[in-house]
Amino acid sequence: MKHIRTTAVLLLSVGLGAVATMPAHAADVCTDSVCVWDGSGLTGAIAGFTTADNNFSNNRFQGSTTSVNDHITSIENHNGSSARFYTNSYWRGDTQDVPGGYWVNARYNNAYSSFRYLI
């Protein structure tokens, strides 16, 4: 019997936009609790976080001099708690929530400056 792996898409009516389950390759690419990419669909340069961060200005994508601040296009959350991304540092501005175990393309593309976990 042949097993086929599929990716389900869940549309939430609370303004989260489209979120999808982790693609099969995600665990091989990022092992941190929350990972961000500078490209859509989990492509391009990557940066990972194990704890909340109130200011992305000192963070860089791996192997790059590009700052994570205002350069996030897709987000992956391996954590059991939702992660909330903010368009301003120190957890201010417009937000987007990423449920644990899902990935999303950024609603506010190239605008995020901080994130924290929701309990």
**Of the candidates 71, 106, 70, 112, the residue with the CA atom closest to the CA atom of residue 93:** 112
Q: Report the DSSP pairing between strands 17-21 and 9-12.
A: antiparallel
The residue ranking higher by pLDDT, 7 or 19, is 19
Mean pLDDT of 1-19: 37
Q: Which CATH class is domain 9-118?
A: mainly beta
- Is there a contact between 64 and 58 (Cβ–Cβ < 8 Å)? no
Cα 41–Cα 105–Cα 16 angle in degrees, nearest 5: 145
pTM over 0.85: no
Residue 54 predicted with pLDDT over 90: yes
* Tokens, residue 81: 């708690």
* Residues belonging to the chain: 119
